[in-house]
């Protein structure tokens, strides 16, 4: 992202009113071996069109982008805000984003690179750290919450995106060498699961004198498929457990459509930058380690560019066929997993709400759906805005409500997710009961939609001793069922819900509180009969 001018596709448009229907066009899925909690256990690999964990359980990455390392600041944006960096990650995890896609530039990882735009008062622990040292801290904390991290080489330099994976100032050799360095740096940390090799390869020049990234053209200087193989195999030589995320191009020839010359014979079918994988079936990326390839298209709404398909009279019914053509076929034909690396909108145009609703439905529900990382957490993305509002603290509820039913929250780094050191914490701890009358409870309904709702239950230990491990229970009316939970291991039996302490935060000290988040199916209801380790609150 960060952005575009003209993109591929015809520029003439038919004016139509924004359609308000949701097309039932979800992707067919094959049965999973098992459903993994959060982001699973150990390193990830692929199996057909699925991403699976070390036990073979299916994992769905439902993540978000937090950008800034690719800009002049060379570190995450929003560190200038009044919300500490950990607080921002806390919110992402609480909302249900289980994966963090982190864009960076080659400049930001050079020796001597300096991070700027940091509020020292709010983030005193970041003072004097290099961009890579800040990245280390973010990765460690994300891992402690059960999140996974995808590294995205977004730009060669902070100056801007490039059609090819190299420029006159940053060679292919530098690109590959830097990737090998990053792979080695995080080789023993299963929080980091892979490399998004280069952001949004796209067309440049006009046919037949194309100079941009092509797919399958055979020109080693321009064929993105061949370059992805070279870089991917070099990375796997250092860290064979990583996933290799490969984006598409915009125009398979690498040249811009000649939309201005009124000669349709020169035009070709082009899509979003990085979004066109229509040739990947014919010319697949071939990696030296099996089951490591994930295709990662980008998809956007009218707030980025008004592609012709948005004004087709059949919109939005025309969209599933477009997605099928550009990248969905790879998933439907069980060729490889899809991880939609970027998609987003300001939602200012009514058509964009329809687009986002239909796109999410297309990815499928539950653990068997396609993976994705939304663009972006940042509110300062000019043509999409963010999930965070301008204060970097509160949340854009209109966007979150559409994404929420598709999010699979991280499990908190307990028994089903790697701990910060990569070793699952499975040791039981003796239970200390809460003293009589030693707790209070408060409830906040965060969101609601047709057939479901999202809430937060905060339980405070008002006793004189720590509760270790803590466990909160509550009841719901008949017909209300748990969909997902976070900040605890949340389960339901009958009308009783139990939130058990995660391994990374098992003790609840006197005066401390914990907020358990959840989504549920049914009519919105306030938790009743709340107890902390059997003591009524």
Q: Which residues are catalytic?
A: 200, 342
Instruction: Give Dmax (Cα) for the chain.
Output: 82
Q: Are strands 513-521 and 481-486 parallel, antiparallel or unpaired?
A: antiparallel
CA distance 296 to 269: 19
**Strand-strand pairing, 513-521 and 452-461:** antiparallel
Q: List C-alpha distances in Å: 230 to 172, 196, 224, 226, 442.
A: 10, 14, 10, 6, 55
Instruction: For residue 363, give Cα distances in angstroms to 39, 336, 356, 370.
Output: 18, 14, 11, 5
Structure tokens that stand for 157 in this block: 């330099």
Nearest to 67, CA basis, from 304, 298, 342, 397 = 342
Nearest residue to 506 (alpha-carbon basis) of 483, 489, 484:
489
106 Cβ contact partners less than 8 Å away, ≥ 6 residues apart: 153, 155, 156, 157, 170, 174, 175, 178
Other C-beta atoms closer than 10 Å to the C-beta of 366 total 14
Instruction: Decide: 238 and 180 in contact? Cβ < 8 Å.
Output: yes
Q: Any idea what the Cα angle at residue 245 is, between residues 298 and 173, rounded to 5°?
A: 110
Strand pairing category for 452-461 and 439-449: antiparallel
Q: Which DSSP letter does residue 395 get?
A: B
User: What's the count of helices (H) and strands (E) in the chain, helices before strands?
Assistant: 8, 22
Q: Looking at the DSSP assignment, which residues form a beta bridge with residue 196?
A: 152, 245
CA distance 346 to 316: 18
**CB-count exposure of residue 334 (10 Å: 0-12, 13-18, 19+):** middle
**Residue 11 to residues 7, 206, 259, 311, Cα–Cα distance (Å):** 9, 16, 7, 11
Q: What is the Cα 146 distance to its own chain's centre?
A: 14
Return phi, psi of residue 436, to 5°: -55, 130
Residue that has been written with the tokens 């904390």 in this structure: 141
Write out 139-187 in H/E/C secondary structure. HHHHHHCCCEEEEEEEECECCECCCCCCCCCCCHHHHHHHHHHHHHHCC
Which residue is associated with the tokens 């995808």?
A: 150
User: Residue 121: which of 86, 81, 155 has the closest Cα?
Assistant: 81
Do residues 24 and 60 touch, judged by C-beta distance below 8 A? Answer: no
Contact 457, 516 (CB under 8 A): yes
Count the Cβ atoms, other than its own, within 10 Å of residue 500: 18
């Amino acid at each position: 992202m960060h952005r575009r001018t003209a993109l591929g596709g015809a520029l003439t448009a038919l004016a139509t009113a924004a359609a308000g229907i949701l097309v039932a066009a979800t992707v067919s899925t094959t049965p999973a071996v098992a459903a993994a909690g959060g982001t699973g256990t150990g390193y990830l690999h692929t199996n057909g069109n699925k991403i699976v964990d070390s036990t073979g359980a299916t994992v769905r990455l439902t993540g978000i982008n937090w950008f800034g390392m690719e800009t002049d600041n060379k570190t995450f944006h929003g560190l200038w805000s009044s919300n500490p960096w950990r607080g921002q990650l806390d919110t992402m995890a609480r909302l249900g984003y289980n994966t963090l896609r982190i864009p960076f530039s080659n400049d930001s990882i050079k020796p001597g690179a300096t991070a700027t735009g940091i509020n020292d008062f709010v983030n005193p622990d970041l003072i004097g750290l290099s961009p890579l040292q800040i990245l280390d801290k973010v990765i460690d904390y994300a891992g402690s919450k059960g999140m996974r991290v995808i590294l995205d080489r977004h730009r060669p330099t902070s100056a801007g995106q490039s059609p090819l994976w190299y420029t006159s100032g940053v060679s292919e050799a530098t690109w590959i060498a830097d990737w090998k360095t990053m792979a080695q740096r995080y080789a023993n940390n299963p929080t980091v699961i892979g490399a998004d090799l280069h952001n949004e390869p796209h067309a440049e020049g006009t046919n037949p004198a194309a100079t941009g990234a092509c797919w399958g053209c055979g020109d080693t200087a321009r064929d993105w498929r061949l370059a992805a193989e070279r870089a991917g195999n070099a990375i796997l030589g250092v860290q064979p457990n990583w996933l290799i995320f490969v984006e598409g191009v915009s125009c398979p020839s690498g040249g811009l459509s000649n939309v201005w010359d009124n000669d349709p014979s020169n035009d070709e079918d082009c899509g979003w930058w990085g979004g066109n994988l229509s040739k990947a079936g014919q010319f697949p990326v071939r990696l030296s380690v099996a089951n490591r390839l994930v295709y990662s298209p980008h998809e956007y709404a009218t707030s980025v560019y008004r592609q012709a398909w948005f004004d087709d009279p059949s919109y939005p019914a025309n969209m599933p066929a477009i997605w099928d053509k550009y990248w969905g076929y790879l998933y439907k034909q069980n060729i490889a997993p899809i991880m939609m690396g970027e998609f987003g909108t300001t939602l200012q145009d009514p058509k964009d709400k329809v687009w986002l609703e239909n796109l999410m439905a297309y990815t499928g529900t539950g653990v068997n759906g396609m993976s994705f990382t939304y663009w972006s957490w940042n509110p300062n993305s000019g043509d999409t805005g963010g999930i965070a509002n301008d204060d970097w603290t509160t949340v854009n509820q209109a966007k979150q409500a559409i994404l929420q039913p598709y999010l699979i929250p991280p499990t908190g780094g307990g028994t089903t997710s790697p701990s910060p050191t990569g070793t699952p914490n499975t040791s039981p701890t003796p239970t200390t009961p809460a003293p009589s009358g030693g707790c209070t409870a408060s409830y906040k309904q965060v969101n609601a939609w047709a057939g479901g709702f999202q809430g937060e239950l905060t339980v405070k230990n008002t006793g004189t001793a720590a509760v270790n491990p803590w466990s909160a229970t509550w009841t719901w009316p008949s017909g209300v069922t748990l969909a997902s939970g976070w900040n605890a291991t949340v389960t339901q039996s009958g009308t009783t819900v139990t939130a058990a302490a995660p391994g990374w935060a098992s003790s609840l000290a006197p005066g401390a509180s914990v907020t358990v988040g959840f989504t549920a199916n049914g009519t919105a209801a306030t938790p009743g009969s709340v107890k902390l380790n059997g003591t009524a609150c």
